[in-house]
Chains A and B, each alone.
Chain A
Amino acid sequence: MSPSSDSPGRRALRRLLRRPAAVFGLAVVATFVAIAVIAPLIAPFDPIATDWGAIRKAPGALHWFGTDENGRDMLARVMFGARASLSAGVISVAISIAVGLPLGLLAGFLGGWIDAIISRIADAMLACPFLILAIALAAFLGPSLSNAMIAIGISATPAFIRLTRGATLNAAVEDYVEAARAVGNPRWRIAVRHLLPNILPPIMVQATLAIAAAIIAEASLSFLGLGQQPPEPSWGSMLNSAQRFIEQAPWMALFPGAAIFLVVLGFNLLGDGLRDALDPRHR
């Protein structure tokens, strides 16, 4: 296929795949997604089945990652924990985009008092430190994984409002928007059909990096007891119990923490790679 017939998406994908760090990030993320999806098929044990004869067993041939304070297999719990972490990352960012993107588009495209109101709300939310706002929201909503996702999603929304608003303001003065206006397109059509596809690349980059932040936030909330509730596995809540047995069973802290680190690193590398591939300013 000649380069001229390439779509911008394909060109961006090719640029992304030329970056070893981004490819590594993509591979790490893909591996964790695969583990999360097929966890019931590949996990060596039931992640919530207790075994009082195998309490805090060190890693070995039977339990590769050792066992926890209730004799549960750590490998199975890390595998199933990927489900909570990845779904929290993706769902909370989806909430942020679902709320932040239309609001940012409205603010940037319509301007005036609508922009003023939306921007002040975003500024005020950005003034509340991300995790403290998420903790407060999770505390008032009640501790559970779904409430943690809502809390993280709401807390991360203002970043998407600001980004979309800024991208819309930049794109709104472009010739193709003028042209769309000149041929008599209604405003909603200009926003949805012409502006939106052109402001998506920076939002995709931000979304990838926001998933990394959301995974850390979910682990933080679960670590504090405000996310996934026991006995269901989550990397954050596993670290919470691990803290009490750090001297006797350090493996309880090592593996869930390493899993968070790896998956967050994967999303960060992928996000950096996407930014280089999609955003002309960073090329």
Chain B
Amino acid sequence: MLAFLARRLAQVLPTLAVVSVIVFSLQLLLPGDPALVLAGEDRDPKVLAEIRERYGLDQPVHVQYARWVWGVLHGDLGESMRVGVPVGELVMSKLPVTLQLGSMAFVIACAIGIPAGVLSAVKKDSVWDYLANALSLWGLSTPNFWLGIMLILLVSVQLGWLPPSGYVSPFEDWRQSLATTIMPAFVLGNSIAAVLMRHTRAAMLQALNQDYVRTARAKGLTEAVVVNKHALRNALVPVVTLGALELGALFSGAVLTEQVFTIPGFGKLVVDAVFNRDYLVVQGVVLVTATAYVMLNLLADVAYFLINPRLRQE
């Protein structure tokens, strides 16, 4: 286990180092003098000089990078130019909202995608298989911001069942929190359900052709036991790992979903930062999401290692 962890960490660290170079390099794309952008309306040469000195813009690029990385390693992602709050603090204050939305979306995606994939594989080439495939194509082809707008029209405007926008913390009022997040979570989970359905279908088709399934059937077990206890348990192993890869899609989707439903999370933070030209916040969000993605994938690999006896024995 330790050797496995060490091997994976040895791959993760260089990746994170390159991520930091990419995120830092973003500011090099800014056209013109970054000090002018940071100064906003204020073009006073004194202010500009102060900004250059404060952010190290008068130093060579590699020195700027080293200073920035040093700060990041000490938890300092800089300060938001608009609200004057440390970027790390800002990101951490929005993260729980997106985590709530993301985890609800993931549960919804699993609740739709996995049963649909199982049904599709068990009833291969039947009407259920075609329906499940159509569902997955729908999920993959529907832009989630459009689905969000159309659901607001139907569920909130026409039927008046759920609020069209806003967010309430579950610690304040869990019912209202559920009411404000269930529709965005469904929207966000929709495309991930489609991907999970495809992975589950492929894994189940493979599992159903294995010898142990044939043996289970030969023993006279009911089809439900064969499918649920034997095939599905084994098929879920790759689905869990492949599902972890969808966490990136979850972060990306959250940007648009939070925008449509006016949810004050991580995604809304990055969009607002883009329009306020609050570039340090944009950099901070990219760095935090990429690091979170790498670490969650590492966790998924560890989980895969723990639940797969063949890997453990190697």
**Chain A interface (Cβ < 8 Å from any Cβ of B):** 120-121, 123-133, 135-137, 139-142, 212, 216, 219-220, 223-226, 239, 242-243, 246-247, 250, 253-254, 256-257, 260-261, 264-265, 268-269
Contact = CB atoms under 8 A, between A and B. Distances in A.
A126 B146 CA distance: 26
A224 B282 CA distance: 14
A123 B152 CA distance: 37
A220 B257 CA distance: 11
Interface residues of B, number: 50
B149 A239 contact: yes
Contacts of A264: 140-143
B18 A130 contact: no
28 contacts: A121-B18, A124-B15, A124-B16, A124-B18, A127-B291, A128-B290, A128-B293, A129-B248, A130-B249, A131-B253, A132-B255, A135-B270, A136-B26, A136-B274, A140-B279, A141-B29, A142-B31, A223-B256, A224-B271, A242-B149, A243-B149, A243-B260, A246-B153, A254-B150, A261-B146, A264-B140, A264-B141, A265-B141
Nearest to B140: A268
Q: Which of A123, A127, A269 has the largest count of B CB atoms less than 10 A from its CB?
A: A127
B199 to A, nearest CB: 14
A257 B146 CA distance: 6
B141 A220 contact: no
Contacts of B29: 137, 140-141
B255 A257 contact: no
A127 B31 CA distance: 26
A125 B146 CA distance: 27
Nearest to B136: A268
A253 B137 contact: no
A70 B198 CA distance: 43
List of 10 A-B pairs having minimum Cβ-Cβ separation, nearest first = A131-B252, A257-B146, A124-B18, A265-B141, A129-B248, A139-B274, A140-B29, A129-B251, A264-B141, A124-B19
A139 B29 CA distance: 10
B282 to A, nearest CB: 5
B227 to A, nearest CB: 24
A257 B293 contact: no
B312 to A, nearest CB: 25
Given A226-B274, A269-B137, A125 B30 contact: no
Nearest to B250: A129
A198 to B, nearest CB: 25
B14 interface: yes
B217 to A, nearest CB: 27
A40 B221 CA distance: 66
A226 B30 CA distance: 15
Q: Which of B17, B29, B150, B152 has the most C-beta atoms of chain A within 10 angstroms of its own C-beta?
A: B29
A40 B13 CA distance: 53
Interface residues of A, dominant DSSP = helix
B141 A139 contact: no
Given A140-B29, A268-B137, A268-B141, A224 B149 contact: no
Majority secondary structure of chain B interface residues (helix, strand, loop or mixed): helix
B145 A220 contact: yes
A264 B279 CA distance: 32
A126 B18 CA distance: 11
B92 interface: no
Interface string B251-285: 11101100110000000001100110001001101
Interface of B: 11, 14-19, 21-23, 26-27, 29-31, 137, 140-143, 145-146, 149-150, 152-153, 157, 248-249, 251-253, 255-256, 259-260, 270-271, 274-275, 279, 282-283, 285-286, 289-291, 293-294
A151 to B, nearest CB: 10
Contacts of A269: 137
Contacts of A265: 137, 141
Given A123-B11, A123-B18, A128-B289, 14 more contacts: A120-B15, A124-B17, A124-B290, A128-B23, A129-B252, A131-B253, A136-B283, A140-B29, A225-B275, A253-B149, A261-B143, A264-B141, A268-B140, A268-B141
Contact of A125 (B11, B16, B22, B31): B22
A216 B30 CA distance: 25
Contact of B256 (A220, A246, A261): A220
A193 to B, nearest CB: 32
Nearest to A151: B29
Contacts of B22: 124-125, 128
A140 B256 contact: no
Contacts of B141: 212, 261, 264-265, 268
Nearest to A217: B252
B290 A120 contact: no
B160 to A, nearest CB: 12
Nearest to A209: B140
B19 to A, nearest CB: 4
Contacts of A268: 137, 140-141
